[in-house]
Amino acid sequence: MTDSISLPAHHWPILEPGWVWLCGAGPGDPGLLTLHALNALRQADAIVYDALVDERILDWAPEAEKIYAGKRGGKPSAKQRDISLRLVELARAGRRVLRLKGGDPFVFGRGGEEAQTLVQHGVQLRIIPGISAGIGGLAYAGIPVTHRDVNQSVTFVTGHDQSGSAPSSIDWGAISRGSQVIVIYMGIKHAAQIAQALLGAGRDPAEPVAVVAGATTPSQKVLETRLDRMAGDIAHTRLEPPAIICIGRAALMRQVLDWQGQIAGETPRDLDPLGRGRPAEQG
């Protein structure tokens, strides 16, 4: 598999010794890597990767040393500061370092903090964006994160704060009033509190919700529910992280755009789930 994809002719940047490339690996499906990520995998001799990076992606760098920096099997996660300093150390040792993170490195991934530490230590870096789970993961479930008939804005929010508890610092009232579609990262653990906060701020209990777990991977699971039943249904169906929660009528679009279900032979359930009575081409 390593050499089955050749990069198109282009002046691809060279990963020089002593540099760190901070790179998004996308939500899972290796096909969602960028060409810059592939170029990086081909040159790196040290790859520091997170739990959310799909193992199949690492197969594209068979020779590189792989350094795991995440939580797995209940072990405590490597401390953020230790990870950042490890990157500095590797760079100073003259390695070609690839820091590979799930999704996009700057979306709820502490990529900004790592980049800051590198700059503070005089390490040269390149940032390679990736497809974030809150956009690409929803697309794999047939949910467009914006749709003209649904929303003019979307809010991406984390389900817990720095201490790991329910996000008390988030103004759910403002989000509830200001955003027709709410996309929650890391929201499974505190789903009940989040639902309660949104309902308390006046959100419709019957509002459609989709929860996409393991998005874009072979084990992708999608739960379709409503706001007042969201937490109970998550517990009941034993949905496990990583999962994205999408609250809003965009979730209904899955009824017609569940392209993976259609590939599996199911027929679309409702061709006009938003009830506008106008096919897109008339708009």
Q: Are 128 and 36 in contact (CB under 8 A)?
A: yes
**Three-class SS state of 100:** strand
* Planar angle of CA 56, 59, 61, nearest 5 degrees: 140
- Per annotation, catalytic residue among 29, 50, 54, 258: 50
Q: Which amino acid is at 197?
A: A
Shortest reach from residue 1's CB to ligand SAH, in Å: 20
Sign, Cα dihedral of 116, 132, 97, 8: negative
Nearer to ligand SAH, 28 or 95 (CB): 28
Catalytic residue status for 186:
yes
Q: Which is nearer to ligand SAH, 181 or 212 (CB)?
A: 212
Q: Report the candidate in 176, 165, 261, 245 with the shortest Cα–Cα distance to residue 208.
A: 245
| Smallest distance, ligand SAH to C-beta of residue 22, A | 11
CA distance 274 to 32: 29
Q: Assess whether 71 carries a catalytic annotation.
A: yes
- Asked if residue 213 lies in contact with residue 220, where contact means CB atoms within 8 angstroms, the answer is yes
- Closer of 53 and 123 to ligand SAH (Cβ): 53
Shortest Å distance, C-beta 173 to ligand SAH: 22
Residue 21 CB, nearest approach to ligand SAH (Å):
16
Q: What's the closest the beta carbon of residue 105 comes to ligand SAH, in angstroms?
A: 6
Q: Regarding beta strands 19-24 and 124-128, do their DSSP bridges make them parallel or antiparallel, or are they unpaired?
A: parallel
Residue nearest to ligand SAH (CB): 103
- From 71, 161, 171, 270, active-site residue: 71
- Which residues are CB-contacts of 199 (< 8 A; sequence separation ≥ 6)? 205, 227, 228
Nearer to ligand SAH by Cβ, of 45 and 158: the residue is 158
Could you confirm whether 230 is annotated as catalytic? no
Measured from the CB atom, the residue of 27 and 30 that comes closer to ligand SAH is: 27
Rounded Cα distance between 174 and 179, Å, is: 8
Interface contacts to ligand SAH, rule CB under 6 A: 27-28, 52, 101-104, 107-109, 132-133, 137, 185-186, 212-217, 241-244
Q: Which of 29, 54, 104, 186 is catalytic?
A: 186
* Number of separate helices (H) and strands (E) present in the chain: 10, 10
Which residues, in sequence order, are CB contacts of 122 under 8 Å at separation 6+? none
First to last CA, the chain: 44
Catalytic residues: 50, 71, 186
